[in-house]
């Protein structure tokens, strides 16, 4: 599919990857800006995206598309006065509410820059090159959002590491009491896991005090939040599985009740905010 081919080309971490501003009536692309390698004709793609919205409005009796996911991308739409259609492409894990807000800001800047009102397009000469002057404006917006996104992203990743580290530290209190052969088995299994770690986990270590994960490099561009979530959850699942095999399930839950539950309860608001509450409950309460 056209969308699938495009989605393979994106690799940077800009919030908005591509943006189109299209004259809705004629389907002409007035402005396009890309922040990743574009492998397809932007005019062709704008026609494709506009056509999907037109079909939604005409054939499905809908007001138009607000957000769709295709391939590995999320496509967000806003419709200005039924005259302009703005479409942004972003990674599928981006928040659509944030993307809609950003599109609204872009739309307002575009209208102000060219003094566009409801009658503008009816008087417009049809020369799309005039809109290329909008490039520096949107570049500045995207750069500002990118900087804010990086700071927010790193803070969230550190919060994730801290929550999981608390759990590992809680278990570390009981690890020294494991029968010697059990400790050896646990250490060997954890060493096996380390061989499959991503590059940004290079400095993560396992020792007599258990896992130390706070040294993970969350500034590494390859350390995407959704991947970090997967890695941490997989690591905890593997650790818990080994602990259960050593202590048996009944004793494991007794240990968790005494050492882990208080940590979870004291940090529950942050756990809920990070949306890892269900995953942790699956491990420790079910």
> What pairing do the DSSP bridges indicate for beta strands 205-207 and 210-212?
antiparallel
| Span 117-169, pLDDT tens digits | 988 988 888 889 999 999 999 999 988 888 887 888 889 999 999 999 999 98
Which of 163 and 40 is assigned the larger pLDDT? 163
Q: Bridge-partner residues for 76, per DSSP? A: 67, 88
| CA-based R_g, the chain, Å | 25
- Whole-number pLDDT of residue 256: 87
pLDDT band at 286 (very low <50, low <70, confident <90, very high): low
What ranges do the domains of the chain cover?
2-126, 151-284
Q: Domain 2-126 belongs to what architecture?
A: 2-Layer Sandwich (3.30)
| Span 85-103, pLDDT tens digits | 999 988 888 888 889 999 9
- Best-predicted range by mean pLDDT (56-65, 221-230, 244-253): 221-230
Share of the chain above pLDDT 90, in %: 38
pLDDT band at 10 (very low <50, low <70, confident <90, very high): very low
Mean pLDDT of the chain: 84
| Span 187-214, pLDDT tens digits | 888 988 888 899 999 999 998 778 999 9
- Whole-number pLDDT of residue 37: 64
CA separation (Å) from 129 to 17, 94, 125? Answer: 22, 31, 11
**Which tokens in the block code for residue 103?**
């599109």
Helices H / strands E in the chain, number of each: 10, 7
Q: What is the mean pLDDT of residues 227-238?
A: 93
Q: At what angle do helices 225-255 and 180-194 cross, to 10 degrees?
A: 170
pTM: 0.58
CA distance 223 to 156: 12
CA distance 195 to 193: 5
pLDDT band at 39 (very low <50, low <70, confident <90, very high): low
């Amino acid at each position: 599919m056209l969308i699938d081919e495009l989605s393979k080309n994106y690799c940077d971490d800009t919030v908005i990857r591509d943006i189109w501003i299209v004259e809705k009536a004629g389907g002409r692309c007035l402005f396009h800006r890309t922040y990743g390698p574009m492998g397809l004709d932007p005019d062709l793609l704008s026609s494709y995206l506009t056509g999907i919205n037109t079909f939604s409005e005409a054939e499905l009796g809908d007001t138009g598309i607000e957000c769709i996911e295709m391939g590995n991308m999320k496509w967000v739409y806003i419709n200005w006065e039924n005259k302009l259609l703005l479409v942004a492409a972003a990674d599928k894990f981006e928040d659509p509410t944030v993307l809609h807000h950003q599109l609204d800001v872009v739309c307002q800047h575009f209208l102000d820059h060219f003094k566009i009102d409801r009658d503008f397009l009816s008087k417009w000469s049809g020369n799309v090159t005039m809109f290329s002057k909008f490039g520096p404006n949107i570049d500045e917006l995207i750069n500002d959002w990118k900087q804010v996104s990086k700071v927010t992203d790193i803070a969230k990743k550190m919060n994730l590491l801290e929550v999981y580290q608390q759990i590992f530290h809680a278990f570390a209190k009981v690890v020294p009491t494991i029968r010697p052969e059990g400790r050896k088995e646990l250490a060997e299994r954890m060493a096996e896991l380390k061989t499959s770690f991503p590059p940004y986990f290079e400095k993560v270590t396992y020792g007599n005090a258990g896992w130390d994960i706070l040294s993970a490099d969350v500034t590494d561009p390859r350390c995407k939040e959704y991947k970090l979530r997967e890695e941490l959850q997989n690591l905890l699942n593997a650790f818990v599985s080994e602990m259960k095999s050593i202590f048996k399930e009944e004793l494991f839950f007794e240990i968790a009740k005494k050492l882990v539950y208080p940590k979870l309860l004291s940090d529950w608001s942050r756990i809920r905010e990070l949306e890892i509450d269900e995953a942790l409950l699956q491990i420790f309460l079910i």
